[in-house]
Each structure stands twice: as structure tokens, then as C-alpha cells.
């Protein structure tokens, strides 16, 4: 109720029958007082944030080394054609470092909506064209373009390409 989503939707997400929108995902992790990084790793308690070693706890992601290969990225498939790939093994509660992919027509939220959440965002477009709407202004970013803005400002990201948009995104 606090997120204004149905119990049925939450159940479908939990059971892998539905993917949340970017906006719904941010609402969920904020309400659960967890980071996106914890969601990627499936970790939930204070010990999991440290990634302890040993038979009784989750493996330490840092033990895999500092390099994350293309095939080793953890990925979240979100609703409306958006994928987030985590670019680190190590959980950092202060930053999300992501490769984001917006399929043609993909968007962070519905066209008539804007989302907001805690933090500050930095983005760099590698391929495709990404429309970023912040409050009442819209910007179209192409390859090599970058943007930064407070996440508390109402915003929406959407592909305006016939090809997937690939970008590097950092949320602090």
C-alpha cells in the first residue's frame, strides 16, 4: 500500500512472473532500506553487506578479484525493456555502477510519469539515443554525451532509437 502497487504485482515480481519498472524497483529498495547492489547480490542482512567468507555465509565477492568480465555481470531485467548490469563484484552501499540497456521503446517509467529517488546520477551514452526528461526539460543524448542531475528531481529516461541504447550509469 505504501508503494501504491498491488499485492498481486509484488507476488508476480517475487515469483519471476513479472519485472518491475525502474520506478517501482527504486520504491521497493527504498522501502526495504536496501541498495540496488544488495538486490543484485540477493543479500539482505547486515552480514551480507560485508560479504563474509565461510560455509555459513555468502561468499565474499571481492574474492573473485577486481575484474568483472562481460559474461560475468549480474543483471536485472526490468519492465518496459530496461536491463541493468552491475559493473562491480563488491557491494558498495554508496554507489551503483551500472551498464544500462534500453531496448527500442524502453523507458524507466510510463510516458506520462516521472520518478524520483534519493541520490545523484551520472550517465554516459555509448550507443543509441536516450531522452532524459528532468522536471520540465528534455534532453536527447547520443553516443559520447553525458549528463548529471540530482535523482530527487522528477525524471524519466527513454530510448528514442531504433537500436538499443547502451550507457554507463552511476547513482551515488
Q: Please write the tens of the pLDDT for every residue from 113-137.
A: 899 888 999 999 999 999 999 999 9
Q: What is the pLDDT of residue 70?
A: 93
Q: What is the mean pLDDT of residues 131-145?
A: 97
In angstroms, what CA-CA distances link 142 with 11, 12, 128, 145, 164?
Answer: 37, 35, 6, 6, 12
| Phi, psi (rounded to 5 degrees) for 21 | -75, 165
Percent of the chain with pLDDT over 90: 49
CA 2 to chain centroid, in Å, comes to 21
Range in 35-49, 83-97, 116-130, 144-158 the model is least confident about:
35-49
Following CA atoms 72, 78, 83, 88 in sequence, which dihedral angle do they give, to the nearest 10 degrees?
Answer: -40
Query: pLDDT-derived band of residue 53, with 50, 70 and 90 as boundaries?
Result: very low
Amino acid at each position: 500500500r505504501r508503494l501504491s502497487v498491488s499485492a498481486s504485482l509484488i507476488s508476480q515480481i517475487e515469483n519471476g512472473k513479472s519485472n518491475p519498472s525502474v520506478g517501482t524497483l527504486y520504491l521497493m529498495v527504498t522501502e526495504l532500506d536496501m541498495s540496488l547492489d544488495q538486490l543484485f547480490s540477493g543479500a539482505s542482512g547486515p552480514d551480507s553487506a560485508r560479504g563474509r567468507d565461510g560455509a555459513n555465509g555468502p561468499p565474499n565477492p571481492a574474492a573473485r578479484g577486481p575484474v568483472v568480465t562481460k559474461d560475468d555481470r549480474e543483471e536485472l531485467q526490468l519492465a518496459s525493456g530496461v536491463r541493468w548490469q552491475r559493473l562491480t563484484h563488491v557491494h558498495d552501499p554508496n554507489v551503483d555502477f551500472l551498464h544500462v540497456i534500453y531496448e527500442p521503446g524502453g523507458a524507466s517509467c510510463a510516458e506520462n510519469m516521472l520518478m524520483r529517488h534519493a541520490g545523484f546520477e551520472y550517465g554516459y551514452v555509448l550507443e543509441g539515443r536516450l531522452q532524459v526528461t528532468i522536471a520540465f526539460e528534455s534532453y536527447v543524448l547520443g553516443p559520447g554525451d553525458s549528463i548529471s542531475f540530482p535523482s530527487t528531481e522528477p525524471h524519466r529516461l527513454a530510448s528514442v532509437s531504433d537500436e538499443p541504447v547502451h550507457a554507463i550509469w552511476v547513482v551515488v
